[in-house]
Structure 1
């Protein structure tokens, strides 16, 4: 049955779908294939009615559905290519930034560096950093303030800070 449908209606159906898809042959062939597959799955829909109008209607609905689906989603890009380009440059940029930050940290005084390491890199609270460093919490706060200012200047000198 499917072969007979294709022989009789395949050519005109493909031409019709090509016009609907703007000449995209791959999409048109997919639509024709799906249309014939639906005719095969639902032979009762073809009984007692002209077959070609039913096939053309199904094909048109498939094209409209595909168009709506494409509009509802962001455009498809070559993700592998994009990810490779982005990942490579991101990894290099991150490595360069971390080296620059490490150099800027090395330029800070040992007290400022220690406070920043405890509060930012180890994620400790002011009280925990004060206990770990053996200094009062107020000193941790003020050293953190001045250490961040000094770090910002060091990063600006290296062209990293905004």
Structure 2
């Protein structure tokens, strides 16, 4: 019957490097844990995690390691894992909790629907040329060059129509009470 090793996740009797890892663990786990414990400032859980990851990497390189000569390699791997952990924590932005009063107020969905309807009506009030430019630039998020190519007009015409279309749209929205003058 095959027995699964909880510490390394390997199946006994199948992996030839398992015996090497057992020997490495028996010989080096104590000194390695003490070494890592000093590096991580006394955090036993973090030290155990680093030792476990170090021995996992030793298992991956079990064909190249001997228990008698593996000490410097294990210590170097453990040191590099600790350094990588510090760098990873330092590179991550500090998370700031969001307070409930910092969240935007949830508005009335009916109000949002009405505004959307009024904006659609204001867009329909524009000339077809102006509406096409607004749709290309603001709804499809095309650049001026892309809008010009799509509409088959020069870039300058797109800019000019966008200027006048936005002015007309603002006036139409002011008339409907969506924006203030």
Alignment TM-score, normalising by the size of structure 1:
0.49
Specify which structure has the higher proportion of helix. Answer: 1
